Chain A
Amino acid sequence: NAGVTQTPKFQVLKTGQSMTLQCAQDMNHEYMSWYRQDPGMGLRLIHYSVGAGITDQGEVPNGYNVSRSTTEDFPLRLLSAAPSQTSVYFCASSYTQGTEAFFGQGTRLTVV
C-alpha cells in the first residue's frame, strides 16, 4: 500500500511561474487536504475536499487552486509563484473529515 504519494519532493520556481503539486492516495479516502508547514507556524490548511467534485478553502487559500476530479487525486496549483509561497507542502487524506489524517512525504518548494 503506497498510502499518500506526493510529487515532486523538491522544486525551485522563479517568481511568477506556475506549477502543480501532485497528490494521490490509494486508500479510497473521501477527504483530502493540503497544508503548508512554515517554521513556528505549524500546519496551516490551504484547501480541502470532502469528495470528488467538491472543494473548499482553508485558512490560507490565496494564490492556490485545487480540483478533485477523482477520489484518488487532489492536485494543488500555484497560479503565479511568490517568494511568500516558499514552504513545505503536505497532502493528507482521511476516511472522512475530522478522522485520522494520513500525510504524504511533503514537497519542499522554494520560490526565488
Chain B
Amino acid sequence: QQQVKQSPQSLIVQKGGISIINCAYENTAFDYFPWYQQFPGKGPALLIAIRPDVSEKKEGRFTISFNKSAKQFSLHIMDSQPGDSATYFCAASGGYGQNFVFGPGTRLSVLP
C-alpha cells in the first residue's frame, strides 16, 4: 500500500512535443504529491507539487494533473526541450510527519 507506481520507465520525445509521465498510488492517506527532476550526476530537485484539493497545477511548461478517485497523477511537459532530458520521479507522502515514497523514475530523452 506504500508503493507508488510510475510509467513509462523511459520516454523519447521530439523537441516541441508533449511528454507525459504517469503515477498511481494505493494509500488514500497520501496528500502531497511532488515531482522531482534529476540530471545526470546531480541530486533530485523539486520541480512541481500538488495537493489533492485541486485537480491541476501548472507552472510554466510543467503541469500536474491529479485524479483523486482513480488515485492517479501525471506530469505533462509541454513544448519539450532537449534541456528537459533528465530522470523524473513522482513521490507521495501523508504530509507533515510522514516520509516520502518515491516512484522508480522515468528517464526522459528529448531529441533535438
Interface residues of A (CB under 8 A from B): 4, 33, 35, 40-45, 48, 58, 90, 92, 96-106
Contacts and interface: CB of A to CB of B under 8 A. Distances in A.
Contact of B99 (A33, A102, A106): A33
A14 B5 CA distance: 35
Which 9 interchain pairs have the tightest Cβ spacing? A103-B43, A42-B104, A42-B102, A43-B102, A98-B98, A98-B96, A98-B93, A103-B44, A98-B95
A100 B51 CA distance: 13
Contacts of B44: 43, 90, 101, 103
Nearest to A104: B43
Nearest to B42: A105
- Among B44, B93, B100, max chain A CB count under 10 A is at B100
Interface in B84-102: 89, 93-100, 102
Contacts of A40: 9, 104-105
Contacts of B96: 96-99
A112 to B, nearest CB: 21
Contact of A43 (B9, B32, B89, B95): B89
A42 B105 contact: yes
Nearest to A35: B102
Interface string B15-45: 0000000000000000010101000011111
Interface residues of B, number: 25
Contacts of A48: 99
- Among A35, A43, A58, A97, max chain B CB count under 10 A is at A43
A58 B103 contact: no
Contact of B100 (A41, A98, A104): A98
B99 A58 contact: yes
A41 B99 contact: no
A101 B46 contact: yes
A58 B2 CA distance: 12
A96 B93 CA distance: 13
Interface string B66-93: 0000000000000000000000010001
